[in-house]
A and B are shown apart, each in its own frame.
Chain A
Amino acid sequence: MPSERETEDQEAMRRAAAAARAERAARARAAAEAARAARAARAAEPVRVVDKHDGLVRTAHWMHVPLLFGLIATGLAIYWAAPVFRHAPSPGNPRGDYFVDIGRGLAALFGQNGDMPYWFYEHFSVGPMQLANALRLHWLFAYLYMACGAIYVAGLVRGGGWRALLPRASDPAEALAMMRYYLGVIPHALARKPWPHPPIAGKYNALQRGAYFTMPLVGALVVLSGWAMHKPAMLGWLERLFVNYDGARIVHFTCLVILGGFTIPHVILAVADGWDTVRGMVTGWSTRWKGAPHA
C-alpha cells in the first residue's frame, strides 16, 4: 500500500497537471479566438474594387476559347478536302496545297521519318480524311459560337461595357504613344531605367480598344462568310457580298488568321499585365481602379 505522503504527492501532481492542461487549453482558445478575430478583421478589411467585366462577357470570353480551337481544328480538316490557296502541282503534292508543304517542313523539323504530306492536318486539325466528322463538329461549334457572340453582345449592353470599346478621336495619337511604350519596355528594363506608362484616361488604351473593337467585327465577318459558304443559294445576296463562293472562303480563312493571331499577343499581354487582369476575367472585379496606389 502506498504511504499517505505518496498519495498526497500524487494528488498534487495530478492537480498541477490538470491546471497546466487547463491553462494550455485556455491559451489555445485565446489564440484561436485571436486568430479568428484577426481573420474576421482581415475579412472585414475594406478593399476598393472596380467591376470590370459583366458576367455574360466573362462567360462568352471563356466559352470562346475552346470554341475557337474546335472551329479551327475542324475547319482545317474541311479545308483539307479542297484547299483554296494552291500553287501549281508539284511532286507528291498534286493539288498544290501549301499546308502539305508546310506539314512536310514541320515534320522534317521535328525529326519525323518518312514522307508526311498530312503532318500539318494530323497535328493542327482533327485529321485528314475526316470530312464528314469535321463538318458535323464544325456546325455544332459554329452554332455555339453564334450563341457565344450573342451572349457577349448581351453582356456588353447589360454592363455598359460597349462604351469603352468605341473608337475615339484621340486614338491614333494614343496608339502611337503605346507602340513607342511597348517598343521601349524591354530595352529600358535591361538598362534598369524608368520607362513610365503613357497616361490612359479610360478602361483601355488605344491599342487595346482597337483590338477589342475589331475582334467582335471579325467574329461577325467570320460568321457571315461562313453562312455565305453554307447557304450560297438561298442567301445569294450574302455570297455576293463576298463577290463569289471562293471570295467567302478567302474571307473566312483570313478571319481565322486574324482571330488566331490576336489570341497569341492577347494571352502574353494579359499574363504580363498581372494576376489582377487574369483574375478580373474570371471574377469580374479588379483592385486597379483609377487612382489606386499601385495602378
Chain B
Amino acid sequence: MPERAKGPSLGARLGDALRRAAKAAAERPEASRESTRGALAKRSRRDFLLFGLGVVATGAFAWWLLPERAKRTWLPGAADRLDTLAGRVGLTRMQREAQLDRVLTFDDDVAEALFSKERRVRTYDRPDPGPLMNNYHGRTPGPDFLPDWRLNLTGLASGKSESLTIDELRSRFARHDMNTRLVCVEGWSHVVAWGGLRFADLLAAYPPAPGMRWAALRSNVSLDGAGNPEPYYVSIDLETARHPQALLATHHAGAPLTLAHGAPLRLVVPMKLGLKNIKAVTDIAYTAAEPADYWNERGYSKYDGL
C-alpha cells in the first residue's frame, strides 16, 4: 500500500487553532512607561476639568429632565430657584416637552422600522384564565346604543360613506379566531381568545381613497370615569391595519363581545399596545394625515408598536 503523504490531523489542527486563539486572548504583560511629573499633571488637569464639566452638564440635564413631581419630592426647598436658573440657560419646561416628544418619535420610528406585515405575532394554545380588562377608568356604556349601532366608514375610494350593521359585518366577512397576548402600556399582559373579521378584508371590500395612509378609529359611545360621554379615538397606520392578525373583533372567549369588552365591534391589534385596541368602534375614517390619538395627547407614543 502506498504511503499517503499525511498533513497534520484534524485534531492537531484544531488544537493548534485553539492554542493560537488562547494566545491572542491571553492577558498581555503590563507595559509601564516613563513619563514626567509635569506631563502627568497637565494631563490630569485636562481630564479632571473635562470630568467636572461632564458632572455639571449632567446635573443640569438631569434637573431639566426630571418630572415636576420628583423635583418637588427630592429638593422641595430649591426646586423653584433651580427651575428659574435652568430657564435662564434655555432649559425650559416647554423645551423639555419638545425634546422628550422627539425621543418618542425616534422610538416610534424604530418600532415602525421593525414592523412587517409578514411577521406573525405569537399565538397561544389557550387564553390565560380569568377576566381582565381595563376601561381606562371609564365606565362601561349601557346597552341602549346597540340597536342603532352602525360602523360608519369615510375616506373611501368610492367617495361615498358607508354605514354597516353588525349582522352585515358578521355575514359578509369570514371569521378568524386567534389567541394573542394583549400587552398594556402599564406592563401587565393577558392572552385572550378573539374572533372577528380581518381589518384587511374590510379594507379590500371598502378600499380607502388613494393617498390615504391612516385609519382614525373612534368610539362615540365611550364614557369617562364619571359616566359622562367621552369619545375615545386612536390612530392606526394602514400597514398595521392590513396585518392578517389585525381583527375587528366580534367575539371574545368564543362568545359575542360583552359591553365590557367593547360590544359589538372592537379593534384587536396584538402588534400594538393595548390602548390602541379601541372598544365599541363606531367610526373609521381613512385619512392622508396622521389623525389625533387619545393617549398621544396625554404624553404617550403615537405609534405604540410592539
- Interface on A for B, CB 8 Å cutoff? 40, 42-51, 62, 66, 70, 73, 78-79, 81-82, 84, 122-123, 125-127, 129-137, 139-140, 143, 160, 163-164, 166, 202-203, 229-236, 239-240, 245-246, 249, 279, 282-285, 289-290, 292
Task: Check if A78 sits within 8 Å of B38, measured CB to CB.
Answer: no
Q: How far is the CB of A161 from chain B (nearest CB, A)?
A: 10
Contacts of A44 in B (CB 8 A): 36-38
Task: Check if A81 sits within 8 Å of B73, measured CB to CB.
Answer: no
Task: Check if A136 sits within 8 Å of B104, measured CB to CB.
Answer: yes
A20–B267 alpha-carbon span in the complex (Å)? 100
Contact of B69 among A40, A82, A127 (CB under 8 A): A127
Task: Check if B122 sits within 8 Å of A240, measured CB to CB.
Answer: yes
Contacts of A283 in B (CB 8 A): 40, 43-44, 47-48
B195 contacts partner chain A, Cβ-Cβ < 8 Å:
no
Task: Check if B32 sits within 8 Å of A140, measured CB to CB.
Answer: no
Task: Check if A234 sits within 8 Å of B114, measured CB to CB.
Answer: yes
The segment from B21-29, B154-162, B224-232, B256-264 found at the interface with A is B21-29
Count B-side interface residues using an 8 Å CB cutoff.
63
- Interface on B for A, CB 8 Å cutoff? 25-41, 43-44, 47-48, 51, 54, 58, 62, 65-67, 69-70, 73-74, 100-101, 103-104, 106-107, 111, 114-116, 119-122, 181, 183-189, 270-272, 298-301, 305-306
5 A-B pairs (CB sep. < 8 Å): A127-B73, A166-B27, A233-B119, A245-B183, A282-B44
Task: Check if B40 sits within 8 Å of A122, measured CB to CB.
Answer: no
Task: Check if A233 sits within 8 Å of B122, measured CB to CB.
Answer: yes
Task: Check if A163 sits within 8 Å of B73, measured CB to CB.
Answer: no
Contacts of B35 in A (CB 8 A): 46-49, 285
Task: Check if A82 sits within 8 Å of B33, measured CB to CB.
Answer: no
Task: Check if A232 sits within 8 Å of B51, measured CB to CB.
Answer: no
Given A163-B27, A202-B27, answer yes or no on A284-B47 (Cβ-Cβ < 8 Å): yes
Task: Check if B41 sits within 8 Å of A43, measured CB to CB.
Answer: yes
A136–B66 alpha-carbon span in the complex (Å)? 11
Task: Check if B122 sits within 8 Å of A239, measured CB to CB.
Answer: yes
A82–B273 alpha-carbon span in the complex (Å)? 14
Contacts of B115 in A (CB 8 A): 234
Task: Check if A43 sits within 8 Å of B37, measured CB to CB.
Answer: yes
Contacts of A289 in B (CB 8 A): 30, 32
Q: How far is the CB of A141 from chain B (nearest CB, A)?
A: 9
Contacts of A42 in B (CB 8 A): 37-38
Task: Check if B25 sits within 8 Å of A166, measured CB to CB.
Answer: yes
- Which B residue's beta carbon lies closest to that of A55? B47
